[in-house]
Amino acid sequence: MNRRNWMIAWVGFSLSVMAGADEDPGKSKIGRVSVTVYHATNGNPKAAGAKAVVAKETTVRLQKEARLRFKHYQLLGQDTQPLLRSYESWAQPLKPSDEVLVRFEAQGRPTKKSAVLDLELWLGRKKIVKTDARLEGDRPLFVLGPEWRGGRLIIAVALASEPKPGS
């Protein structure tokens, strides 16, 4: 190999190594987490504004738990964010407001059916809950939040399925 070809090969190799160095394996996506915020009340549901109605199966699930049992539920917002291998992620379900934020970080590699997360719930820029949570399949973790507009906020955190290609 002559000197010119050797130099071209060396530059090509060096560029490929440098390009790979920018890819941090800790930022690889290992799953997705969905955060949903509901408004629950025994009073007038219109106090929260005109919002989406909650699916019947979610209502039944919420009413099975005594602390989450209310007459009316409304969906206020939802956000799905990637679960990264070694970095924290933040979900902001009430966009553009940052009144409700959920920080989560993987503790170990999740399976398709479960994940253990370091989970924090922030309301009004104050951390109100910090816990280790085991999320399984389509079973969300429900957190009873503070009083809000004549009711209570309920925050649901769940593993989300991967989006279908083309959607």
Query: Does the pLDDT at position 95 exceed 80?
Result: yes
Average pLDDT score over residue span 2-7: 62
> Domain count of the chain?
1
- Please indicate, yes or no, if residue 9 is contained in any of the structural domains: no
- Please indicate, yes or no, if residue 11 is contained in any of the structural domains: no
Query: Does the pLDDT at position 50 exceed 80?
Result: no
Query: Does the pLDDT at position 9 exceed 70?
Result: no
- Please indicate, yes or no, if residue 16 is contained in any of the structural domains: no
Measure the CA–CA gap between 62 and 100, rounded to whole angstroms. Answer: 20
pTM for the structure as a whole: 0.77
pLDDT digits (tens, 9 = 90+) for 99-110: 889 999 988 878
- Please indicate, yes or no, if residue 101 is contained in any of the structural domains: yes
pLDDT recorded at residue 68: 93
- Are 69 and 62 within 8 A, CB to CB? yes
Which residues form the domain of 34? 24-159
